[in-house]
């Protein structure tokens, strides 16, 4: 397994739509393992392949808290079969938008179909933080960030701060 560099916004690679995988083969399993290791190391509760520059419909999540038993989910080609009308609001963050958080409302419950690590089709119902986290990661597969759910004003404030941070980091590297 390997730690992969996480792309931070603003970056055109985070705006692309990812391609489905043909099957969960050894290459995709390796990607899932690397994503999970990178996510735990960050640390975060979800990570999607486009965040490490791989345009495939693959993501991992684990919402277990520190000290709890890990509950990793490795997901390929996810599809929402049903979403509740009822919404849930969580303060969301993202490893690609470090240190920025904002309230986002999404369907509170979903029924998800996906391919698992063994290339088996699974259908599960999800709610609470897990449902929100999976929907957030699925957005990444379509080039959507959580800030895209905010007002243009709020979104631009966050993206401008991140762009400034990036310029500072580049300047530091050049200066060193
Ligand atoms: Ni994210």
Instruction: With CA atoms as reference, report the closest residue to 50 among 115, 112, 137.
Output: 137
Q: Residue 35 in contact with residue 47, Cβ under 8 Å?
A: yes
Ligand 1 centroid–CA 119 distance in Å is 24
Q: Match 């369907």 to its residue by tokens.
A: 107
Residue 129 CB burial class (10 angstroms; 0-12, 13-18, ≥19): middle
Ligand 1 centroid–CA 48 distance in Å is 7
Q: Match 């240190």 to its residue by tokens.
A: 99
pLDDT of residue 49: 98
Choosing from 85, 86, 123, 137, the catalytic residue is 137
Q: Residue 83 in contact with residue 113, Cβ under 8 Å?
A: no
pLDDT of residue 160: 96
Map out the domains of the chain with their CATH numbers.
12-171 (3.90.45.10)
pLDDT of residue 63: 97
pLDDT of residue 11: 96
127 labelled catalytic? no
One digit per residue, the tens of pLDDT, for the chain of length 176 reads: 799 999 999 999 999 999 999 999 999 999 999 999 999 999 999 999 999 999 999 999 999 988 899 999 999 999 999 999 999 999 999 999 999 999 999 999 999 999 999 999 999 999 999 999 999 999 999 999 999 999 999 999 999 999 999 898 888 877 75
d(Cα 109, Cα 88) in Å, to the nearest integer? Answer: 8
Ligand 1 centroid–CA 135 distance in Å is 10
Ligand 1 centroid–CA 98 distance in Å is 9
Question: DSSP string of 57-80?
Answer: SEEEE--PPTTSPP--EEEEEEEE
Q: Match 């970056």 to its residue by tokens.
A: 11
pLDDT of residue 13: 97
d(Cα 27, Cα 84) in Å, to the nearest integer? Answer: 34
pLDDT of residue 23: 98
pLDDT of residue 176: 59
Ligand 1 centroid–CA 175 distance in Å is 31
Sign of CA dihedral 137, 122, 119, 72: positive
Ligand 1 centroid–CA 130 distance in Å is 13
């Amino acid at each position: 397994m390997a730690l992969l560099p996480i792309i931070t916004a603003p970056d055109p690679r985070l705006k692309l739509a990812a391609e489905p995988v043909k099957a969960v083969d050894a290459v995709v399993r390796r990607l899932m393992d690397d994503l999970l290791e990178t996510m735990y190391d960050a640390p975060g509760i979800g990570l999607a392949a486009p965040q490490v520059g791989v345009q495939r419909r693959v993501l991992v999540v684990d919402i277990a808290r520190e000290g709890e038993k890990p509950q990793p989910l490795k997901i390929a080609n996810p599809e929402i079969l049903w979403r509740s009308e009822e919404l849930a609001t969580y303060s969301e963050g993202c490893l690609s938008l470090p240190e920025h958080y904002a309230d986002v409302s999404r369907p509170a419950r979903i029924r998800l179909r996906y391919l698992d690590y063994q290339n088996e089709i699974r259908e599960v119902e999800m709610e609470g933080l897990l449902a929100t986290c999976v929907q957030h990661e699925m957005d990444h597969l379509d080039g959507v960030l959580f800030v895209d759910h905010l007002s243009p004003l709020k979104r631009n404030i966050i993206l401008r701060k991140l762009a400034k941070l990036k310029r500072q980091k580049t300047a530091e590297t050049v200066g060193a």
